[in-house]
Amino acid sequence: MPDRVRDELLVIATKLFAEGKVDYFLGYKKGTVKFKTSPLIACSREDLQELWVEDFFASNLCLYLKEIKSRVGILVKGCDSRSLISLLKEGQIRREDLYIVGLPCPGQIDPRKVAGATGCESEELEEISRRGGEILVRVGGQEETIPKNQAFLDKCLDCQYPKPLIFDYLLPGDYVAPVKELIRSKDEVRQKQAPDRWTFWAEQFQRCIRCYACRNVCPACFCPRCIVEENMPQWVSPLPSVGDNFVFHLMRLMHVAGTCVSCGECERVCPMEIPLMKLQDKMADDLRELFDFVAGVDLDKPLPFRTYRQEDPEDFIK
């Protein structure tokens, strides 16, 4: 991202603090490990000096709106702005408490995919940068280019909302290329037979250590006290056995249905690299197919489980 974007952002954020319009500003700062950007929770003008805008893994800052209930300025990409709309619809934040700065996103790069494409381990990647329409990768001193569709996060490959849907100020910049250029491969799990689907997911949930990073990083998971924390009675066992992991993940997904906007943070933060987005995408596809509903897009459209149509499908009901 050019420095002028960062400078423009600094001016806006500084002004917000100077005019006393916000108590916090949520932005990004430089990550301390390769290919990572860190969230920045600025409480004052001094904190803003660390502001930085970068290409990689810029996380969804809306998660901090679960904690911060005062006036806040926030930097959002297209996908993040959908989280904002979702949270507004759920009554978790108030529009007048927010000053939204829209950030154009040229597509987020996934180092794991880049490592896969260049045939090396993630740890061996030295540098990743953009050059025009290509991604430049340096491994072992050698440089090579790979096409965008081999480097971008899956969710960026069919991004329908590159431009923030809600903002008070829009920063200049490049957007991720239109959908027809980048194609996401289909989820091959959907094509499998039932026993193979089970085996696939059982293997995935075998790895889950119940760190709850997915739940905690999710802006849609805003319950002050998650049902998993309840132990009188114990609804969901804290033990990381396959069956209990199934219950936890499927339950969490159903609980955020309609509010989850497929921002992909859950999959990004999972330390065991479980493909959680596969489940979420399936659910989002079903919501769209059955109820013509897409989360976080239309502020006026009611949430899917708070409304109904007479013609809703009921072929599965006896």
Partner 1 sequence: METKPEIGRKEKDWEPRVLAFLCRWCSYAGADLTGSSRISYPPNVRILRVPCSGRVDPLFILKALRSGIDGVLVSGCHPGDCHYTAGNYNARRKFAILSRLLEYVGIDPRRVQFSWVSASEGDKFAKVIRGVVADLKALSRNGLSRFPDLDEKIKEPAGPHQ
Partner 2 sequence: MYRRITRENLKKWLAGLKAEAEVVAPAKVDGLFTYQEFNGRELLRSFQNTRLPPKGLFLESLRVLFGWKSQGGSLRVNIPSSFNGQRVIFGLRACDARALRTLEPVFRGDYQDVFFLQNLSRTLLLGLACRVQCEGSFCTEMGIDPQESVDFDIFFRESPAGYIAKVITDKGNELTGESEFEEASEEEWKLARWQIRGPREKPLFDLERVKAKVLESFPDEDFWKHISAKCINCGVCTYLCPTCHCFDLCDLQMPGQGVRCRCWDSCAFPNFTKMAVHNPREEKWRRYRQRVSHKFNFFHQNFQTIACVGCGRCVVYCPVNLDLREVLVKVAR
Find tokens 């219950």 and name the residue: 247
Contact call for residues 262 and 280 (beta carbons, < 8 A): yes
Instruction: Name the segment binding partner 2 (CB under 8 A); options: 90-98, 172-180, 232-240, 304-312.
Output: 232-240
Backbone φ and ψ of 100, nearest 5°: -100, 125
- The answer to the question of residue 56 lying near partner 2 (CB under 8 A) is no
> Which residues are 144's β-sheet partners?
137
Task: Kindly state the smallest distance separating residue 91's Cβ from partner 1, in Å.
Answer: 18
Compare residues 177 and 277 and give the one whose CB is closer to partner 2. Answer: 277
Judged by beta carbon distances under 5 to 8 A according to partner kind, the member of partner 2, partner 1, none in contact with residue 153 is none
Residue 271 interacts with partner 2 (CB under 8 A)?
yes
Which one of the spans 59-67, 95-103, 128-136, 178-186 is the region binding partner 2 (CB under 8 A)? 59-67
Q: Does 252 bind partner 2 (CB under 8 A)?
A: no
Is 45 a binding residue for partner 2 by CB under 8 A? The answer is: no
3-state secondary structure of 204: helix
Q: How far is the CB of 84 from partner 2 (least distance, A)?
A: 18
Q: Which does 189 bind (CB under 5 to 8 A by kind): partner 1, partner 2, none?
A: partner 1
Could you say which of partner 2, partner 1, none residue 114 binds, taking C-beta under 5 to 8 angstroms by partner kind?
none
Q: Compute CA distances 255 → 30, 34, 260, 266, 276, whole Å.
A: 34, 34, 9, 15, 15
Cβ contact 16:39 at 8 Å = no
Phi and psi at 201, nearest 5°, equal -70, -35
Is residue 269 within the footprint of partner 2 (CB under 8 A)? Answer: yes
- Bridge-based pairing state of the strands 142-146 and 134-139: antiparallel
The listed partner (partner 1, partner 2, none) that binds 235, CB under 5 to 8 Å by sort, is partner 1
List 18, 19, 33, 70, residue binding partner 2 (CB under 8 A)? 33
Query: How far is it between the farthest Cα atoms of the chain?
Result: 65
Residue linked to tokens 């090579």: 144
CA distances from 311 to 114, 314, 315, 317 (A): 46, 8, 11, 13
Residue with smaller CB distance to partner 1, 114 or 221: 221
Sites of contact with partner 2 (CB under 8 A): 31-34, 36-41, 43, 59, 63-64, 112, 120-121, 123-124, 203, 207, 209-213, 215-217, 229, 234, 237-241, 265, 268-269, 271-273
